[in-house]
A = this chain, B = another copy of it.
Amino acid sequence: MQQEFASRLLEEAVTELSRLPGIGRKTALRLALHILRADESAGTALGQAIINMRKGVRYCGVCHNISETDVCPICADSRRDRSCVCVVENVKDVMSFENTGQYTGVYHVLGGVISPMDGIGPDVLEINSLVERVAAGEVKEVILALSATMEGETTNYYIYRRLAPYTDVRITQLARGVSVGNEIEHTDEITLGRSLLNRTLFADSIKR
């Protein structure tokens, strides 16, 4: 779509907006015109927030979660159990686990999962730094919390093998089972099989 823009500034904003994932030139134009219609302060606040974020946010040197400081608030929090490390794929997953309100340990963000098809090998992921963290000796449990996909399972197994020398570290993974709220009818056979195999005491679920 070629468009005659009345303004070079508008055109530049549309070009930059359309670089965002899932935003084509049509949507970018709609967004830009919305920004033009809204208060000047709103447009400036949006632009400034993006600049501030991009300049101010970096990655935690310990867990590789996003952070504004060298060590993120979770790693720096003395109330968190540093002997328990939950290995996740990305920053969003950290947020998801934090939202459960059930986890008091720390994290390790891999930055993805092993996927030879996409050219992602173990070396581009933060796996070596995980092994170093474990080697340092403080870690007692590593929870593998990657997606239950082929790539996730492969990565789980790879990490499991890499951590095998540290025999006193428990390596666990998230329970596989029927999603809460899901009907049996719509649950796949593999999940059903795993949920049967790993069935838990009903009395335990009542206590919670």
Please indicate the chain B residues that have their CB under 8 angstroms from the CB of A56 in the complex.
7, 9
Please indicate the chain B residues that have their CB under 8 angstroms from the CB of A54 in the complex.
35-36, 40, 43-44, 47
Copy number in this complex?
Answer: 2
Are A9 and B68 neighbours in the complex by a CB distance under 8 Å? Answer: yes
A19 to B34, CA, bound (A): 10
One of A94-102, A143-151, A164-172, A189-197 contacting the partner: A94-102
Are B43 and A50 neighbours in the complex by a CB distance under 8 Å? Answer: yes
Are B72 and A6 neighbours in the complex by a CB distance under 8 Å? Answer: yes
Please indicate the chain B residues that have their CB under 8 angstroms from the CB of A52 in the complex.
9, 12-13
Q: Which partner residue on chain B sits nearest A107 by CB separation?
A: B6
- Residue from B12, B21, B66, B72 in contact with A49 in the complex, judged by beta carbons closer than 8 Å: B12
Are A19 and B4 neighbours in the complex by a CB distance under 8 Å? Answer: no
Are B6 and A34 neighbours in the complex by a CB distance under 8 Å? Answer: no
Give 12 pairs: A residue, B residue, CB < 8 Å, sorted on A.
A4-B99, A6-B65, A7-B53, A19-B46, A20-B31, A21-B31, A22-B27, A23-B31, A33-B90, A46-B50, A47-B47, A47-B51
